[in-house]
């Protein structure tokens, strides 16, 4: 995998993050704290539906209906897939009582579907973007072969997680999803001072959030993800358990 955008500063932060302590997002009032807490593991978090909105304007990933991100994913063997992420006008009431924005994620190879997913996002009053589940289907030869990984917060013990915190600070650790044995992704903020270049353009220092992401169910896997302010995810690099690279090609608002 080409390593032309991961700076030395980022690499240093990655090493430090392996032993960094977790942070937290605090709040002054009890109600605000209950809503704006950033969960870490499998703990239960009781969310108040009135504290959430489908208007997602967190600057690290603003999701206005109609927005469309196109990515190119390349594996170690050079195989390429196209990933199109579209914020739909649709919403869905989740089992935990919260209404989520539906974001459609389509992965194709040579025009054929590989994986089609509806992801469910919402934002709390503090600006944290929460992930409430997904309905995913994997395909082979045009036929669905698996729905593994699908879950909905509030069903069978599944819990919501935070995808992008409102106030990311280096060392802040959080769970992104939790459905025991199926979906247990976690992340940690590494840096807010890096830079990155992808086909869609160059994003300079002060405009880039770098996180590391892993899954306890796949202990050898580790991914670095770069978010650009005002844009969203622009680059993901597998650094362990795979060397896939997913980079932003274009964005349409």
One DSSP character per residue, 181-245 reads TTB--EEEEEESS--EEETTEEE-TTSEEEEEEEETTEEEEEEEEEEETTTEEEEEEEEES---E
pLDDT at 1: 31
pLDDT at 31: 37
pLDDT at 241: 77
List pLDDT tens digits, range 139-190. Answer: 999 999 999 889 999 999 999 999 999 999 999 999 999 988 888 899 999 9
Query: Which structural domains are found in the chain, ordered by start?
Result: 8-252 (2.40.360)
pLDDT at 14: 37
User: What does the alpha-carbon distance between residue 173 and residue 246 come to, in Å, rounded to a whole number?
Assistant: 23
Per-residue pLDDT of the chain (253 residues; tens, 9 = 90+): 333 333 333 334 333 333 333 333 333 333 344 457 899 888 888 899 999 999 999 999 999 999 999 999 998 888 899 999 999 999 999 999 999 999 999 999 999 999 999 999 999 999 999 999 999 999 999 999 999 889 999 999 999 999 999 999 999 999 999 988 888 899 999 999 999 999 999 999 999 999 999 999 998 899 999 999 999 999 999 998 777 999 999 999 9
pLDDT at 35: 52
pLDDT at 78: 86
pLDDT at 6: 38
Task: Extract the tokens encoding 100.
Answer: 């989520």
Q: Is 251 left (phi over 0), alpha (psi -120 to 50) or beta?
A: beta
Sign, CA dihedral 223-221-181-22, equals negative
pLDDT at 176: 96
């Amino acid at each position: 995998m080409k390593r032309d955008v991961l700076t030395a500063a980022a690499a240093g932060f990655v090493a430090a993050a392996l032993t960094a302590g977790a942070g937290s997002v605090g709040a002054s009032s009890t109600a605000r704290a209950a809503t704006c807490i950033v969960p870490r593991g499998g703990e239960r978090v009781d969310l108040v539906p009135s504290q959430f909105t489908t208007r997602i304007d967190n600057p690290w990933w603003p999701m206005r209906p109609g927005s469309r991100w196109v990515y190119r994913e390349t594996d170690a063997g050079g195989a390429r897939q196209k990933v199109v992420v579209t914020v739909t006008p649709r919403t869905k009431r989740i089992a935990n009582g919260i209404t989520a924005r539906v974001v459609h994620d389509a992965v194709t190879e040579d025009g054929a579907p590989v994986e089609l997913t509806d992801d469910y996002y919402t934002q709390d009053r503090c600006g944290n973007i929460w992930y409430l589940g997904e309905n995913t289907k994997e395909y082979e030869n045009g036929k669905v072969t698996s729905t593994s990984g699908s879950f909905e917060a509030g069903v069978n013990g599944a819990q919501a997680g935070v995808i992008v915190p409102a106030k990311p600070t280096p060392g802040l650790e959080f769970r992104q999803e939790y459905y025991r044995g199926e979906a247990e992704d976690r992340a940690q903020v590494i840096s807010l001072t890096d830079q990155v270049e992808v086909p869609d353009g160059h994003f300079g220092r002060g405009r880039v959030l770098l996180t590391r992401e892993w899954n306890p169910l796949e202990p050898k896997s580790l991914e670095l993800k770069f978010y650009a302010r005002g844009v969203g995810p622009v680059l993901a690099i597998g650094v362990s358990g795979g060397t896939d690279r997913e980079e932003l090609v274009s964005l349409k608002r």
